[in-house]
Amino acid sequence: MTIKLICLDADDTLWHNMRHFNSTEDALLDLIAPFASRDIAREQLNACEARNLKLYGYGAKGFTLSMIETALELADDPLPKEMLAHILAAGRALLSHPVEVFDGVADTLAQLASKGRLVLVTKGDLLHQEAKLAASGLGDRFSGIEIVSDKTANTFRRIFKKEGVAAEEALMAGDSLRSDITPALEAGAWAAFIPQEGAWVHEKAAVPANHPRFRQLNSLTELPDLINTIR
């Protein structure tokens, strides 16, 4: 069946994202180094993020709150004012860093638009995601924009129904096995996994290597050719 709807992730699929979070995390670990080793601090931060995702959601604001909580748990009591100021500044920097689009994305989107409707499906803080999309200059390439709190199979079912396509006529492409690939396959769509270095620990999941509708690509630029093979 021909693909009619092409859903694309944003962060680390269209533009760089995690490398900014990873460098901010490294800075936090340096800041906490007088009180805890990097391994312990990273483990504490990961645990804190896992607890807080259901409360704060995804994005820089929730990550900043988790960094503060981690520092409170590991550093001296009371938390030094200078340390808190550094963490808050790091959080603001995450919200304002330049948007760096991956090479070839603009041309690839033009090719994909000739093969089906393009819908951006991204999760995180609404204002931040809207700002990044505007800064990327890619917003007008999409016929639909979906900024959601999380991506589940029901999220994709809703989008397919809204767009008037059967699940097998849709494809989701992104860098997260947990958020882009697994729920899209569960909803009955095709899924193209485009892994990136420095992937977030909370987005990891098993690779569905033997799934008939799963493909793994080296780059988004390979997606148009993949779609040509789906009949």
Q: How many CB atoms lie within 10 A of CB 209?
A: 7
Q: What is the pLDDT of residue 36?
A: 94
124 and 223 in a single domain? The answer is yes
* Cross-strand partners of 119: 7, 144
Query: Is the pLDDT score of 216 beyond 80?
Result: yes
Q: What is the pLDDT of residue 76?
A: 79
Taking alpha carbons only, the member of 52, 84, 78, 76 closest to residue 66 is 52
Mean pLDDT rounded to a whole number for the chain: 93
Which CATH number does the domain housing residue 170 bear? 3.40.50.1000
Which CATH number does the domain housing residue 22 bear? 1.10.150.240
Averaged pLDDT for residues 101-107: 96
Count: domains in the chain: 2
Averaged pLDDT for residues 184-211: 86
Averaged pLDDT for residues 137-148: 96
In percent, the amount of the chain with pLDDT more than 90 equals 82
Taking alpha carbons only, the member of 156, 138, 143 closest to residue 116 is 143
Averaged pLDDT for residues 182-187: 97
- The pLDDT confidence band at residue 195, using thresholds 50, 70 and 90, is very high
Query: Is the pLDDT score of 119 beyond 90?
Result: yes
Range of the domain at 56: 18-96
141 and 75 in a single domain? The answer is no
87 and 184 in a single domain? The answer is no
Averaged pLDDT for residues 39-59: 92
Query: Is the pLDDT score of 1 beyond 80?
Result: no
In percent, the amount of the chain with pLDDT more than 70 equals 98
- The pLDDT confidence band at residue 158, using thresholds 50, 70 and 90, is very high
Q: Helix (H) and strand (E) counts for the chain?
A: 9, 6
11 and 31 in a single domain? The answer is no
Averaged pLDDT for residues 205-218: 90
Last residue of a domain, one of 37, 71, 96: 96
54 and 121 in a single domain? The answer is no
Token readout for 17 is 């994202």
Size of the chain in residues: 231
Q: What is the pLDDT of residue 57?
A: 86
23 and 57 in a single domain? The answer is yes
58 and 22 in a single domain? The answer is yes
Comparing 16-20, 113-117, 169-173, 197-201, the range with the smallest average pLDDT is 197-201
Residue 113 and residue 97: Cα distance in Å, rounded?
Answer: 28
Residue 55 and residue 185: Cα distance in Å, rounded?
Answer: 27
Give helix 38-56 / helix 18-32 axis angle, nearest 10°: 130
115 and 220 in a single domain? The answer is yes
Q: What is the pLDDT of residue 152?
A: 95
186 and 90 in a single domain? The answer is no
42 and 90 in a single domain? The answer is yes
Token readout for 223 is 């997606």
**pTM (2 decimals)?**
0.91
Last residue of a domain, one of 59, 74, 96: 96
Query: Is the pLDDT score of 139 beyond 70?
Result: yes
> What is the CA 77 to chain-centroid distance, rounded?
34
Query: Is the pLDDT score of 143 beyond 80?
Result: yes
104 and 218 in a single domain? The answer is yes
Last residue of a domain, one of 42, 67, 96: 96
Q: What is the pLDDT of residue 198?
A: 66
73 and 178 in a single domain? The answer is no
